[in-house]
A and B are shown apart, each in its own frame.
Chain A
Amino acid sequence: MHVASERWYQWAAALFIGLCTLAAVFPLYYIIVNSLAPESELAQGVVIIPHRLTWAAYRVVLTDIRLLQALGISILRTAIGSLGALAFTTIGAYVLARKGMPGRKLFIFMVLITILFNGGMVPTYLVVAKTGLIDSIWALIVPLLVDSWGLLVIKQFFENMPESIDEAARIDGASELQFLLRIGIPVAKPALAAIGLFNAVGHWNAWFDAMLYLNNPAKYPLQLVLRNLLQGLDFLRQNGLEMSGSSFVRASGDGLKMAIVILGTLPILCVYPFLQKHFTKGIYLGAVKG
């Protein structure tokens, strides 16, 4: 019998999985702990298990106007951006799912092209400039209004709808829009939820488009502000003393930076269990895309 080797294998597997899991979450734990540790402790050295916890860093973060502004911008772009993307993408998917529409194959082909091929950073920038979006928050939303990959996935869903529903609606005399709203969307709900969430996470995490298209620092979303802080290109005020960069020893506000990192990832963590369900479903649905 091979109970022995099987048991050895099980233990080894558990160990390995445990280590990977630990590696995945320890950094997060470290950041959280550092954001909650008092500056005095941080000044002494590396903190892994703090002796005291304090909300001081979060209090500063949540009362700093600039950060609140950036947070607001992030929330705004995520909400409008992902809902808008969902709307546009769904419409596009629905239309292209309608077999028999003249030109359908051509349109699908052109959508496919955009997945494999893009204009590049400079041409896209020029287009955004020409459409007057520079230095506007809409530059963070409009260029992302249709998610091509998501479109194909949702289209698949619509195409898999049984013909009978289609016939029934047709007899009823429903218009395309009504059909989409009353029947299409409920049917495709799992795909919509997944794609919507994908887009929301993408929006929340985006910083490069903000860096490219926005001039006015007051309009920067949270991720960009965080990046500037981390790279010493910006500073935060704390008790009249500024802080930025890495060298400045613990007493200079590393806890604050950690708090902002957490802020940058908090909504995702909060929504996470909900996300996980829909995401794994989304993966099962669509093509292989990281």
Chain B
Amino acid sequence: MRRVSLSVCLISLVCLLIALSTPGMSASNATVWYPPANTTDYSYDDMSQKYDIEFFSTFWIGRPIPQDNLWTAWLNKTFNINLTFTTGTPVGAKVKVRGITGDAPDIANLPPSEISDVLSLTSEGIMINDWRPYLKYLPTMSKMRLDPARRFVVTDDKNQILAMPKPTGNPENWCWFIRKDWLEKLHLSMPKTDTQLLNVLTAFAKKDPDGNGIADTYGITSNGSGLDIGGQIEALLPMYGDPDVRLVKGKVYTAQNERKKLLQFIQKLIKAGAIDPDWYTQNHDSLMKKLASQRFGLIYGPADWIGGLAVQHKLDYDWQKKWTPLYPVKGDNGRSGGKWLCQKAGPEAFLMVSVKAAKDTGKMKRIMHMLDALNFPNEGFWLVRYGVHSKGSMSETTKFMKYGDLLYLNWAGTIPFSNAKDLCLADFGNPWADARDNVVSGFSPEPDDKVTVIEEWTQTILNKIDRYATNNRALLPPAPVDIVAGYAKFRVQNEIAFIMGDKPWSEWNAYQAQALKIGYSKILAHYQVQLERMEKILNPSD
């Protein structure tokens, strides 16, 4: 085990290039790995004219990119453009307003929660509603991103491709992780049922597992953002069964019974004091910061989160080893569930281009050229994502082999960034935000256990943990906004009322009945149509 202290990092920085090593080699023999040079043909773009391009996105941490960064400079130079980044949330709504005033941004990147805005922005003529004519300009992206499942999400009834989906990075290595050192300290065994989990989480909160004498630990938290129960806690839904929207005997089933049991579990967590009181109101950002504070015993995320948090917050790398993947917990005291979710499905973002930009064919070609060139495995991807360029492909004037102040990369091909080939266009915000915060990628060049741990975990998650196959909810195109809007508030309001005990559980069925009346029946009808359509597309019957 080696500690990476700040001084070592600085020395590495001074040495400019830090690289990787295959397992077994020590860092002193570190070599630099260069990704292969770009070979895609972009001759359709004559690169003669300079264009102004605006890119609108919330970016990774929701903070705007500072305008004076090295990547923008490189992009401007390489693509002969003048690139500006703008931001705002919610993205779809802000873009709509811009569209009304005739000033839609050229490129917009919508988060998956705003898929209904994809529908309205395209149907209202603000963003282009068909990418098919442009696919010939996007050789890499169309190959990487438009597999049948993802294509289905963004295709409408007329077979038009409404937006370019971004697949989930590391889609399959999400899992629950638990503090194994706390379990040991409190003499608890790995929880296998929901009741055991409740006890463990309560113990985490009440029995001071970190031994600092202050009652400042909790079992679990979430990121409700004041709007819903939050993705963290929702990831416990599989305890009670398959959480997917699916066809059961030809009819739509939406796991409401399972959801009720999850809500009841949350209620028990609250009563026991095992859950962070901010679980409902805080957002993803706050969640991540809290997770880094070492005060929680259970986290749901990809295998490299924990390592990433360690690096980002300058924690001891050993912290990573205190965690271990939690095997699926069975709800109903062991009678249901038994699998975790596979995060495989669902686009992580939707890329859209404005109708206004599309009117200028030269500009459109430039935009397509840029987007495609920044896609894995083209050179631009590496640069934008990690700050590494292909050997010999860059001139000396753009020396930003820096990535913040530290650059570590391990791409010998031994680390199972297992779906590397599925990683497509980088979320532009990521590298900038990282660089600004001097964050290092979760991987280090040193053949240390940190990397091995992640590798181990990923293998466990992929091979040893049972998971529900797909996440249809993320794949289905959404119901139209007016149906959803009213129902959304109703559902959220009622769920929190049940959880907090303001409504007795005996009223659950009445609530379900009323939900149907308010509009949920329409949503179910929509799901029925889409699920049947999806069946046909993904499993053609001949």
Contacts and interface: CB of A to CB of B under 8 A. Distances in A.
Contact of A231 (B88, B97, B98, B281): B281
A235 interface: yes
A242 B292 contact: yes
Contact of A232 (B62, B98, B278): B278
A202 interface: no
Contact of B101 (A129, A232, A243): A129
Contacts of A277: none
Contacts of B76: none
B111 to A, nearest CB: 15
B480 to A, nearest CB: 20
B285 interface: yes
A218 B286 contact: no
Contacts of B64: 216-218
B290 A248 contact: yes
Interface residues of A, number: 29
A43 interface: yes
B149 to A, nearest CB: 33
B86 A216 contact: yes
B124 to A, nearest CB: 15
B501 interface: no
Interface in B82-127: 86-89, 94, 97-98, 100-101
Contacts of A240: 313-314
Contacts of B101: 129-130, 132
A251 interface: yes
Given A135-B88, A241-B313, A246 B286 contact: no
Interface string B285-301: 11001101101000000
Contacts of B226: 231-233
Closest 7 CB pairs of A and B: A215-B88, A242-B289, A232-B282, A245-B278, A247-B277, A249-B216, A244-B286
Contacts of A242: 286, 289-290, 292-293, 313
Contacts of B276: 245, 247-248
Given A126-B100, A215-B88, A247-B218, A233 B290 contact: no
26 contacts: A43-B214, A125-B97, A130-B100, A132-B101, A215-B86, A215-B94, A216-B64, A216-B86, A232-B278, A232-B281, A232-B286, A233-B281, A233-B286, A235-B286, A241-B293, A242-B286, A242-B293, A242-B313, A244-B282, A245-B278, A245-B286, A247-B276, A247-B278, A249-B216, A251-B214, A251-B216
Give the most central of B101, B225, B278, B286: most A CB within 10 Å: B286
A153 interface: no
A34 interface: no
Contact of A245 (B86, B98, B216, B282): B282
B283 interface: yes
B286 to A, nearest CB: 4
Contacts of B285: 233-235, 244
A74 interface: no
A134 interface: yes
A233 B225 contact: yes
Contacts of B292: 241-242
Given A241-B313, A244-B289, A247-B218, A134 B281 contact: no
Contacts of B295: 248
A249 B290 CA distance: 11
Nearest to B218: A247
A252 interface: yes
B490 to A, nearest CB: 22
Contacts of B86: 135, 215-216
Contacts of A135: 86, 88
B251 interface: no
B87 A215 contact: yes
A211 to B, nearest CB: 11
Interface string A190-216: 000000000000000000000000011
A45 B290 CA distance: 21
Contact of A216 (B87, B100, B278): B87
Contacts of A216: 64, 86-88
Interface string A243-275: 111111101100000000000000000000000
Give the most central of B218, B226, B281: most A CB within 10 Å: B281
Contact of A129 (B63, B100, B214, B282): B100
Given A234-B285, A248-B295, A249-B214, 15 more contacts: A126-B97, A129-B98, A217-B64, A231-B226, A232-B281, A232-B283, A233-B225, A235-B289, A243-B289, A244-B282, A244-B290, A245-B282, A248-B216, A248-B290, A252-B293
B283 A233 contact: yes
A233 B282 contact: yes
Contacts of A126: 97, 100
Nearest to B314: A240
Interface string B265-291: 000000000001110011101100110
Interface in A128-149: 129-130, 132, 134-135
Give the most central of A125, A130, A134, A242: most B CB within 10 Å: A242
A84 to B, nearest CB: 24
A168 to B, nearest CB: 51
Give the most central of A130, A235, A240, A249: most B CB within 10 Å: A235
Nearest to B313: A240
Interface string A103-144: 000000000000000000000011001101011000000000
Interface string B459-492: 0000000000000000000000000000000000
Give the most central of A125, A215, A241: most B CB within 10 Å: A215
B295 to A, nearest CB: 8
Give the most central of A125, A231, A248: most B CB within 10 Å: A248
Contact of B97 (A43, A129, A233): A129
A244 B293 CA distance: 12
Interface string A159-179: 000000000000000000000
A73 to B, nearest CB: 14
A135 B94 CA distance: 10
Give the most central of A216, A235, A247: most B CB within 10 Å: A247
A102 to B, nearest CB: 36
